[in-house]
Amino acid sequence: MRYTNLRFVKGHGTENDFVVLPPYDGDLTAETVAALCDRHAGIGADGVLRVVPQDGRFFMDYRNADGSVAEMCGNGIRVFARFLVSSGLADPGEIPIDTRNGVLVVTVPEDGGDITAEMGHPARLDDAKVTVGSASWPGVGWSMGNPHLVVLDAAPIDEIDLGVEPGVEPVASFPDGVNVEFLEPVGPRHVRMRVFERGVGETRSCGTGACAAAVAAMDAAGIRTSYVVDVPGGRLVVEWREDGMVLMTGPAVLVAKGDVDPELIRSSRG
C-alpha cells in the first residue's frame, strides 16, 4: 500500500525523540518505521508512537528505531499523552492509555508542565554480567514491561564507549535482547545514567530505563521513595510506592508537525 500525506508530529521527552503518527488506516511495517527514524534519509527519531483508537481509549503502538516491536516506552508515553491533549483527542487530567504493559494512567496538567505516568509494577529478572571493551560489571535484572540490566555503579560513566552494544552473559537470559543502564551515584537518592537501548543504541534518555535504575538502587538500599535520575537529555523523577506501582515524572515537548510519504523515504535510503 502506498501512503501519501501521512501526518506526523515530532516530539521528545528529555531528548528521547519520537515520530508520533495520528490514527490512520493502513499497516505500519518495520521497514517504514526504520525509514521514518533514519536521521539522514528520514525524519529521524529513537522510535515511532502510533495512535490506535481502541475500545474508547487509545493504544500506544510503540516501535523501536529498527522497526522492532517494543513492550513499553516511558518517555514515549508522556509524549503520546501530550499529543492526545494537544490534538483534542483527550482532555487534560488523568488519561488511561493502553500499552503492551497493560492500561497505565498518565496525568497531564492543564498548565503544560511536567507529566506523571504510571509505569506499572517492576519485576525481578535474571542478573547477568555486562561487558564493554575490557571492563565488566555485575548487572541487576529488572523488568518495567521490557527487560533491563542495571549496573549500579559504573563510575565514571562518561568514559564508557557505548558506540558498540554491551556484551551480556549469559546471553540465554535475554533471548530478545536487553536494555542496559550504567549508573553513577551523585548523592542520596540521586544518580546519573547512560543507557544503551536494544534496537536503537545509546539514547539521550530512556524512561523505562530510568525507572529500572531507580528501582534497582532503591531495592539495593531496602527503601521505597523517590529518586532523581539525570540523563544526558535532562532529569526524571521516579517514585516507587508501597503498593508496588512505579510513577515517573518528566517533560514532554512537541516540536514539529507535517506530512510525509514513507514510500519516498524508503526509496531514498541506500
The one catalytic residue among 73, 104, 128, 260: 73
Whole-angstrom distance, CA of residue 101 vs CA of residue 99: 5
Respond yes or no: is residue 73 known to be catalytic.
Answer: yes
C-alpha to C-alpha distance for 264 and 116, rounded to whole angstroms: 37
Taking Cα atoms as reference points, which of 266, 267, 257, 261 lies closest to residue 3? 261
Spatial separation of the C-alpha atoms in residues 87 and 186, rounded to whole Å: 39
* Residues 6+ away with beta carbon under 8 Å from 221: none
Three cell numbers, residue 29: 511495517
Torsion of the alpha carbons at 203, 205, 208 and 211, rounded to the nearest 10: 140
Environment class of 251 (CB within 10 Å of its CB; exposed 0-12, middle 13-18, buried 19+): buried
The one catalytic residue among 34, 97, 117, 206: 206
Tell me which residues are annotated as active site: 73, 206
